[in-house]
Amino acid sequence: MYDIIIIGAGPSGLTACIYSCLANKKVLVLEKETYGGQILKTNKVRNYPGFENISGYDFATNLYNQAKNLGPDIKFEEVLRINNGEIKKVITKNNTYEAKAIIIASGSTTRKLPIAGIEKFDGKGISYCATCDGNFYKGKDVAVVGGGNTAIDEALYLSDICNKVYIVYRRKEFSFNSINLEKLKERKNVSFILNSNVVSVNGEDKLESIIAEDVDTKEKTTLEINGLFVAIGSVPVSDICNDIIDTNESGYIKASEDCKTNIDGIFVCGDIREKQVRQLTTACSDGTTASINACKYIATKK
Ligand SMILES: Cc1cc2nc3c(=O)[nH]c(=O)nc-3n(C[C@H](O)[C@H](O)[C@H](O)COP(=O)(O)OP(=O)(O)OC[C@H]3O[C@@H](n4cnc5c(N)ncnc54)[C@H](O)[C@@H]3O)c2cc1C
């Protein structure tokens, strides 16, 4: 039996792992994909204190190695559900693990475009990560859909690799200004298609074109592209526990700064928690708090 099971090996989960191991707890981390979480999707991290400029991959790898060297069990298995009780249970496809406390650090995932049949092009022209897949589109024409910081960063990254980059955004203007947005506006191979939604994605075996529709006039523009990068926000990954844990209307787990959920002994940290700011610093901060409070909870059970 473990003291603490941590679900998710992203920045918040790995931080919770470091603190829990340093507190001499027997820890299991369960991760359904690879370690690192969302930060793997970015090329440059420039806002994490102590690191002026580090790639998302290097940040994640350093964090993973730091956690791993402290001796937790780390298993690459998807958690399907958790059960409450004096002894908590975490269920994966092939195993059931037991612990005194659980920390949920399952983060969030990219929102999909609401277009019927779009999944046909997953890995065949539709991507959710420019850093991961951008190079497949070297010298080709691509579009980015979305208008937040992530969309702008993705487009800027792609504009260095691709022949042409379209940005399709549903509003008439961007709600923020950033250095990267300014840089993007100066790029000769970038075109903005504003006030428009992507309404269809087309192709035989792989993506060949998309149709953008003007929100007001309904005028349609066909863009012949090889790749579409979707960056329209994220959704919380709380389906493993939303039958027993309180979530808000968007699916984020309710907990205040103490990272305690409505269930004694189950804690939450990082992007999956209901909060205002979702960044590395806040994810790691949550991981710290969740671990310290999980350790205190275990101490009360002795
Ligand atoms: C493109 C992009 C760029 C970003 N750039 C920056 C930046 O420059 N600076 C910054 O501060 N922040 C940045 N962020 C935000 C930052 O990455 C997140 O705030 C941070 O990763 C949140 O960490 P987390 O551990 O809470 O969640 P996540 O990173 O989402 O990690 C959650 C982990 O849980 C795993 N998981 C989910 N469900 C299960 C399950 N059922 N079983 C097992 N494992 C599961 C996932 O596979 C994942 O590894 C960026 C985000 C994106 C998408």
Q: What are phi and psi of 144, to 5 degrees?
A: -115, 130
Cα(223)–Cα(146) distance, rounded to whole angstroms? 16
| Architecture category of domain 118-230 in CATH | 3-Layer(bba) Sandwich (3.50)
The angle subtended at Cα 62 by Cα 61 and Cα 64, nearest 5°, is 60
Provide the mean pLDDT of the chain: 95
Predicted pLDDT at 44: 81
pLDDT tens column, 69-79: 999 999 999 99
Ligand 1 centroid – CA 285 distance (Å): 14
Is 118-230 in the same CATH topology as 2-110+234-300?
A: yes
Q: What are phi and psi of 70, to 5 degrees?
A: -90, 0
pLDDT tens column, 251-272: 999 999 999 999 999 999 999 9
Q: Tell which wins on pLDDT, 60 or 278.
A: 60
Locate 173 and state its tokens: 């203007």
Ligand 1 centroid – CA 39 distance (Å): 6
Percent of the chain with pLDDT over 70: 100
266-289 average pLDDT score = 96
Domain segments of the chain: what residues?
Answer: 2-110+234-300, 118-230
Helix, strand, or coil (residue 64)? helix
Which residue has 């002795």 as its token pair?
302
Predicted pLDDT at 115: 94
pLDDT higher than threshold 90 for residue 41: no
Residue 223 carries which DSSP code?
Answer: E
- Contact predicate 10/38, CB 8 Å: yes
- Residues near 65 by beta carbon (within 8 Å), at least 6 away in sequence: none
Predicted pLDDT at 145: 98
Q: How many CB atoms lie within 10 A of CB 222?
A: 11
Predicted pLDDT at 141: 98
Q: State the pLDDT confidence band at 213, using cuts at 50, 70 and 90.
A: very high
Overall fold of domain 2-110+234-300? FAD/NAD(P)-binding domain (3.50.50)
- Residues near 248 by beta carbon (within 8 Å), at least 6 away in sequence: 254, 274
Q: State the pLDDT confidence band at 162, using cuts at 50, 70 and 90.
A: very high
Cα(205)–Cα(33) distance, rounded to whole angstroms? 27
Q: State the pLDDT confidence band at 33, using cuts at 50, 70 and 90.
A: very high
Which ligand 1 atom lies nearest to the CA of residue 150? Answer: 1
Which ligand 1 atom lies nearest to the CA of residue 47? Answer: 9
Residue 75 carries which DSSP code?
Answer: E
- Contact predicate 218/133, CB 8 Å: no
198-202 average pLDDT score = 97
Among 38, 47, 64, name the best residue to mutate to test ligand 1's pocket (greatest count of ligand atoms within 8 A of Cβ). 38
Among 42-51, 105-114, 209-218, 231-240, name the most confident range. Answer: 209-218
Instruction: List, in sequence order, the alpha helices (H) in the chain.
Output: 11-22, 56-68, 130-133, 149-159, 179-186, 280-300
Q: State the pLDDT confidence band at 64, using cuts at 50, 70 and 90.
A: very high
pLDDT higher than threshold 90 for residue 42: no
Q: State the pLDDT confidence band at 132, using cuts at 50, 70 and 90.
A: confident
pLDDT higher than threshold 80 for residue 156: yes
User: What is the maximal distance between C-alpha atoms in the chain?
Assistant: 67
- The pTM of this model reads 0.86
Cα(58)–Cα(47) distance, rounded to whole angstroms? 14
Predicted pLDDT at 242: 87
pLDDT higher than threshold 90 for residue 123: no
- For atom 20 of ligand 1, which residue has the closest CA? 280
